[in-house]
Amino acid sequence: MFKKNLFTRFLVAVLLIGLIVANGLTSFDGNKLFKSIEAEAAENAPKYVFYFIGDGLGAAQRQIAEYYKQEVTGDKNAKLLMNTLPVAGINTTYSADTLVTDSAAAGTALATGHKTNNGMISQKPDGTSVKSLIELAEEKGMATGIVTTTRLTHATPAVFAAHNASRNNENDIAVEFLESGVDYFAGGGNRHFVPQNWKWGKSKRTDDRNLLTEFNNKGYTVFASKDDSAAFRKYEPKMGDKVIATLAYSHLPYEIDRKQTDESPSLGEITQKGIELLSKADKGFFLMVEGGRIDHACHANDAVGSIHDTLAFDDAIAKAYEFYQKHPEETLIVVVGDHETGGMGLGFGKNYFVKVDGLKDVKASVEDVLIDKYDGDKEAYFKYIAENFGLNDLTEEEKAKIIKAMDIKDSKKEDYDLVTYGPNYYCPVAVTTTHIISERTNIQWTTYAHSATSIPMSAIGKGAENFGGYKDNTEIAKAMANLMGFELTK
Please state the residue numbers annotated as binding site: 55, 154, 156, 290, 295, 299, 338-339, 450
The count of residues in the chain is 490
User: What count of Cα atoms within 13 Å lies in the side-chain half-sphere of residue 94?
Assistant: 5
CB 452 within 8 A of CB 94: yes
The candidate with the shortest Cα–Cα distance to 437, out of 481, 476, 465, 401, is: 401
For the annotated binding site for Zn(2+), the residues are 55, 295, 299, 338-339, 450
Helix, strand and coil percent figures for the chain, each rounded to 5: 45, 15, 40
CB 344 within 8 A of CB 58: yes
* Cα 452 from Cα 100, distance rounded (Å): 5
Q: Where are the beta strands (DSSP E) in 238-323?
A: 242-246, 285-291
SS3 457: strand
Burial class (CB in 10 A: 0-12, 13-18, 19+), 224: buried
* Cα 116 from Cα 10, distance rounded (Å): 34
* Cα 184 from Cα 289, distance rounded (Å): 11
Main-chain phi, psi angles of 288, to 5 degrees: -100, 130
Catalytic residue numbers read 103
Q: Where are the beta strands (DSSP E) in 260-308?
A: 285-291
For the annotated binding site for Mg(2+), the residues are 55, 154, 156, 290
Buried b (16+ CB within 10 A) or exposed e, 59-88: bbbbbbbbbbbebeeeeeeeebbbeebebb
* Cα 362 from Cα 143, distance rounded (Å): 40
* Cα 167 from Cα 153, distance rounded (Å): 8
What DSSP assignment string belongs to 152-217?
TTSHHHHTTT--BS-TT-HHHHHHHHHTT--SEEEEE-GGGTS-TT-TTS----SS---HHHHHHH
